[in-house]
């Protein structure tokens, strides 16, 4: 076994940062330490970290990552005091298999897929080995893990943070903007939301794409708001933006500007070709748009600026010292020319409504202030927090240049969006509003969009859990449902009938998990569709979101086919016995040991199965006749057929009967070969009468 185990991106490391133990040996030792640490009851985190450190020698970050994974095993949980609890009689192999199942189903680059499988397989092998066998010794009265949380319910809109009339007004205002600005659904929503949150917008696009008209129309949507617009160049003088210097003030040695009618007195401002301004203007702009303060002389005047819309035909020069100004624009939108013929004709012929916002749709100052104040009470659920962390890591990995200030402003904007939508908490769909916030350049928009969509996924189904439960079925350790108790699997020495009954119980439990997953996925899709239709700030629900649900539904259908086939295998003793025979490998080409020496016919099975001395199935060589060879009367003397009761065969495979009992009626000169074939077959079946489930097809 190779001693070199590099980090697996997305599993043992994320964005180059340590996440889980890199070597399987360290992972198994850490899991073993977690088990022994909880033998006497719940253990505090500090104590757990220390014991895992001493046992495994792992780095602190990897220890914390593994401890953070433990609740995903469904047999470990943290109580209200923050102490780790482990379910009664959880052993190392059980916990390691759950860990390997989780690792083995993580999404990783294709180049790392083989390494993930090798890592997971090695973890199970090491945990199964005698040197790593550690049994939990918790009290029979130990608490059981809490049940899984139900699928998130639709957000509670019964007590919105703002009056419903404000939401209705915003919805009507957006409808008006959509009728005026064709093919600009995202632009109108993102720009209005940014202004409501008190942030600024950058519009990137060629001349003649209605950038300035959008700014003027947005301004008219705020009652009593003043508007300022100017085209900048490197020759623009500060007087043109900030107002002339007061001559009477100079006579009194008081330097100040007359700002009435200029940018410092505007509520909404539009500056075209903003990156072409000179340094004197840019320096004053930075403080004005960020701190809402205008410095002139010894005066620091607050400005009523709601938001600034800047426009440019191109991104700023990376070497032009404009990074600070560029970062001040929270929302950056590319504004392309019209693409649809219908939109072109409507614009070209002037067949559009008036751009001015009707008076009854204009937002008052009090409504905006109430909206912003109420947004502070919006909560962030754990799953949205996890998604934000993942996006933050992706931003660092791909160098999107998202500053800490930008993240803070982005979250505040999402809270305003939720408040305006009548919700008290963020939902995963709100993350779609971050695309124009995180995109550093138009050519990277697809990359940002893909990263956001990955965080949405199908949150209704616990990721990888159903596949992990299928792996645990081999151990008869399928997780209990909320109303069930965690039960131990059978011991290796239990009678095969008892083990078969327990396997059937676990199979039924798995199918119940599957049914819950199907219902949860359907409910989640309906919830997302309903939320997408009603979401104030999303014009359309992205197709990949619903496509992910369809893909997940296809995976569940494949899993169900395999599970139902295995359930039929366990349905009767006859089907179980015949299935064991059919799992035998086909005969290999060899000089000795090839050729059928006996056939086993399970009473009630479709047909007998011919065995070689190596215990393998002898297949037909005649291509016109497929399937196992069926002995005929002509070869009966050379190839004896053992007609067996299913229970007798299963008892023999399980080591509870002697081969001579099966070959008692076989002629002496055939009995020896038959006994050799039977012994070889039992070795291939691992001396167990319970067939193992087959592997599930890969997702997607």
Number of H helices, E strands in the chain: 25, 14
Question: Residues 499-524: what's their mean pLDDT?
Answer: 89
Interval 45-56: pLDDT, tens:
889 999 999 988
Interval 470-490: pLDDT, tens:
888 887 878 777 666 656 556
In angstroms, the first-to-last Cα distance of the chain is 31
**461 has a pLDDT exceeding 90:** no
The DSSP secondary structure of 586-622, one letter per residue, reads: BPPP-SSS-S--EEEEETTSSS-EEE-TTSPBPBPS-
Question: Residues 102-125: what's their mean pLDDT?
Answer: 80
Q: How far apart are CA 663 and CA 657, in angstroms?
A: 12
Q: How far apart are CA 266 and CA 695, in angstroms?
A: 67
Mean pLDDT across the chain = 83
- Contact between 183 and 355 (Cβ < 8 Å): no
Interval 319-363: pLDDT, tens:
777 888 888 999 999 999 988 898 888 888 888 888 889 999 999
**212 has a pLDDT exceeding 80:** yes
Contacts of 324 (CB under 8 A, 6+ apart): 286
- Contact between 11 and 106 (Cβ < 8 Å): yes
Give the number of other Cβ atoms within 10 Å of residue 649's Cβ.
Answer: 27
**229 has a pLDDT exceeding 50:** yes
88 vs 459 pLDDT, higher one: 88
Query: Tell me, what's the pLDDT at 131?
Result: 45
Query: Tell me, what's the pLDDT at 140?
Result: 46
Query: Tell me, what's the pLDDT at 549?
Result: 77
Give the number of other Cβ atoms within 10 Å of residue 163's Cβ.
Answer: 14
Beta-strand pair 299-302/293-296: antiparallel
Interval 614-632: pLDDT, tens:
888 887 544 333 344 444 4
Identify each DSSP E strand in 48-152 by its residue range: 76-78, 84-86
What are the domain boundaries of the chain?
A: 1-146, 188-359, 382-454, 457-571, 578-684
Question: Residues 222-242: what's their mean pLDDT?
Answer: 92
Residue recorded with tokens 């599930």 = 696
The angle at the Cα of 495, spanning 665 to 486, to the nearest 5 degrees, equals 155
Interval 56-67: pLDDT, tens:
888 988 988 888
Residue recorded with tokens 């081999």 = 474
324 vs 637 pLDDT, higher one: 324
- CATH code, residues 1-146: 1.10.10
Residue recorded with tokens 């939109």 = 343
Interval 544-594: pLDDT, tens:
877 777 888 888 889 999 999 999 999 999 999 999 999 998 887 655 545
Identify each DSSP E strand in 298-407 by its residue range: 299-302, 307-312, 329-334
Rg over CA atoms, the chain: 35
Q: Which of 172, 181, 261, 170 is nearest to 213 (CA)?
A: 181
Query: Would 1-146 and 188-359 be classified into the same CATH topology?
Result: no
**431 has a pLDDT exceeding 90:** yes
Query: Tell me, what's the pLDDT at 581?
Result: 92
155: Cα separation from own chain's centroid: 20
Query: Tell me, what's the pLDDT at 160?
Result: 79
- Kindly indicate the confidence band of residue 1, based on its pLDDT and cuts at 50, 70 and 90: very low
Query: Tell me, what's the pLDDT at 459?
Result: 52
Query: Tell me, what's the pLDDT at 135?
Result: 52
389 vs 309 pLDDT, higher one: 309
371 vs 17 pLDDT, higher one: 371
Query: Tell me, what's the pLDDT at 193?
Result: 96
**141 has a pLDDT exceeding 60:** no
Query: Tell me, what's the pLDDT at 147?
Result: 47
Query: Tell me, what's the pLDDT at 148?
Result: 44
Query: Tell me, what's the pLDDT at 698?
Result: 73
Beta-strand pair 84-86/76-78: antiparallel
User: Which of 19-33, 159-173, 548-562, 659-673 shows the lowest per-residue confidence on average (mean pLDDT)?
Assistant: 659-673
Contacts 24+ apart (CB under 8 A), 541-548: 541/429, 542/432, 542/449, 542/453, 544/453, 545/453, 545/456, 548/453, 548/456, 548/457, 548/458
- Contact between 20 and 11 (Cβ < 8 Å): yes
The DSSP secondary structure of 503-550, one letter per residue, reads: HHHHHHHHHHHHHHHHHHHHHHHHHHHHHHHH-SS-SS--HHHHHHHH
Is 188-359 CATH 3.40.50.300?
Answer: yes
- Contact between 615 and 584 (Cβ < 8 Å): yes
Residue recorded with tokens 């433990």 = 70
């Amino acid at each position: 076994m190779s001693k070199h185990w590099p980090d697996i991106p997305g599993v043992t490391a994320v964005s180059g940062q340590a996440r889980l133990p890199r070597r399987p040996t360290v992972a198994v030792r850490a899991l073993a330490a977690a088990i022994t640490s909880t033998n006497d009851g719940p253990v505090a985190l500090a104590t757990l970290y220390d014991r895992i450190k001493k046992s495994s020698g792992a780095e602190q970050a990897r220890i914390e990552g593994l401890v953070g994974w433990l609740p995903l095993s469904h047999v470990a949980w943290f109580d209200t005091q923050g102490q780790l609890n482990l379910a009664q009689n959880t052993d190392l192999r059980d916990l390691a298999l759950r860990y390997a199942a989780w690792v083995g189903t993580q999404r990783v680059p294709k180049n790392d897929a083989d390494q993930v499988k090798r890592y997971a397989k090695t973890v199970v092998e090491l945990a199964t080995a005698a040197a790593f066998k550690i049994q939990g010794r918790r009290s029979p009265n130990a608490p059981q893990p809490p049940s899984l949380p139900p699928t998130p319910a639709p957000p509670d809109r019964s007590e919105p943070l703002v009056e419903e009339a404000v939401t209705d007004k915003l919805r009507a205002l957006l409808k008006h903007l959509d009728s005026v600005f064709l093919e600009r659904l995202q632009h109108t929503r993102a720009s209005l939301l940014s202004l409501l949150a008190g942030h600024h917008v950058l519009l990137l696009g060629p001349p003649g794409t209605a950038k300035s008209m959008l700014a003027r129309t947005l301004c008219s949507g705020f009652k009593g708001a003043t508007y300022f617009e100017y085209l900048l160049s490197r020759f623009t003088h500060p007087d043109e933006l900030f107002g002339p210097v007061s001559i009477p003030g100079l006579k009194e040695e008081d330097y100040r500007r007359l700002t009435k009618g200029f940018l410092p007195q505007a509520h909404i401002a539009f500056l075209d070709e903003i990156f072409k301004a000179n340094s004197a203007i840019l320096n004053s702009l930075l403080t004005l748009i960020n701190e809402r303060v205008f410095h002139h002389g010894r005066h620091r005047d607050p400005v009523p600026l709601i938001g600034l819309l800047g426009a440019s035909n191109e991104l700023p020069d990376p070497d032009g010292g404009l990074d600070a100004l560029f970062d001040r624009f929270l929302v950056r939108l590319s504004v392309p020319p019209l693409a649809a013929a219908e939109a072109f004709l409507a614009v070209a012929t002037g067949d559009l409504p008036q751009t001015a916002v009707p008076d009854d749709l204009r937002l008052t100052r009090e409504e905006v202030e109430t909206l912003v104040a109420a947004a502070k009470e919006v909560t962030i659920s754990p799953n949205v927090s996890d998604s934000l962390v993942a996006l933050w890591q992706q931003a660092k990995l791909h160098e999107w240049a998202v500053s800490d200030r930008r993240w803070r402003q982005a979250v505040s904007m999402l809270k305003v969006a939720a408040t305006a939508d009548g919700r008290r908490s963020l939902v995963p769909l709100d993350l779609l509003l971050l695309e124009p916030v995180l995109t550093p350049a138009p050519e990277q928009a697809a990359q940002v969009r893909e990263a956001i969509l990955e965080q949405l996924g199908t949150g209704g189904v616990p990721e990888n859990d159903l596949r992990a439960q299928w792996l645990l079925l081999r151990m008869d350790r399928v997780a209990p449902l909320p109303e069930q108790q965690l039960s131990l699997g059978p011991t290796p020495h239990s009678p095969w009938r008892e083990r078969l009954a327990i396997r059937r119980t676990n199979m039924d439990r798995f199918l119940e998990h599957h049914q819950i997953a199907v219902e949860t996925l359907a409910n989640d899709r309906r919830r997302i569709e309903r939320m997408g239709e009603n979401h104030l700030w999303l014009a359309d629900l992205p197709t990949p979101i619903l496509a992910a649900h369809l893909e997940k539904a296809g995976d569940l259908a494949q899993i169900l086919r395999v599970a139902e086939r295995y359930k039929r295998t366990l349905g009767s003793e006859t089907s179980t016995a015949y299935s064991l025979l059919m799992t035998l490998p086909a005969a290999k080409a060899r000089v000795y040991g090839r050729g059928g020496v006996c056939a086993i016919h399970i009473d009630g099975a479709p047909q007998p199965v011919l065995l070689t001395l190596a215990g393998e199935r002898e297949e037909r060589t005649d291509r016109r006749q497929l399937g196992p060879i069926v002995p005929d009367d002509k070869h009966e003397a050379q190839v004896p057929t053992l007609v067996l009761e299913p229970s007798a065969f299963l008892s023999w495979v399980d080591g509870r009967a002697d081969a001579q009992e099966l070959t008692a009626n076989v002629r002496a000169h055939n009995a020896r070969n038959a006994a050799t074939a039977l012994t070889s077959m039992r070795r291939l079946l691992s001396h167990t009468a319970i067939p193992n489930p087959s592997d599930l097809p890969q997702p997607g």
